[in-house]
Amino acid sequence: MKVFTIQEFKIILTSMNSTLESIEQAAKLLTLREKAVLAHSLLRELERPDGLYEDVNREWTELAEARLDAYLEGEMEVIDGDEAMKRLRESLK
């Protein structure tokens, strides 16, 4: 594994930021359908052999199950979707 100097690392980060900005600008020119296809493709890339995606998926599943348990045990305030949106809109004012 290569070890980079601080200067080399700064150059790499600057280049990456520039590249990411270029990609983002190009993606903004895509149609909605093209953006969806690109997003799907990028998300599939996260399903890497090193298991990163599985770790994230496992953590989200654990969180969802913990929230469900809290709901079922009456430990969580539950509001309907309309009320949640109303509260969100009021908080953004």
4 & 34 share domain: yes
77 & 58 share domain: yes
Residue 25 burial (10 A CB sphere; 0-12, 13-18, 19+)? exposed
How would residue 65 be classed by pLDDT, with cut points 50, 70 and 90?
A: very high
85 & 59 share domain: yes
72 & 89 share domain: yes
28 & 61 share domain: no
How would residue 49 be classed by pLDDT, with cut points 50, 70 and 90?
A: low
Q: How many domains does the chain have?
A: 2
Tell me the average pLDDT across 57-79. Answer: 87
Residues in the chain, overall count:
93
Top-confidence residue, 35 or 4: 35
* E strand residue ranges, the chain: none
For residue 60, the enclosing domain spans 49-93
61 & 93 share domain: yes
Top-confidence residue, 7 or 78: 78
| pTM tops 0.85 | no
The 3-state DSSP class for residue 82 equals helix
Measured between alpha carbons, how far is 27 from 37 in angstroms, rounded to an integer? 11
Least confident range from 19-33, 43-57, 64-78: namely: 43-57
pLDDT digits (tens, 9 = 90+) for 21-46: 888 888 899 899 988 988 888 888 77
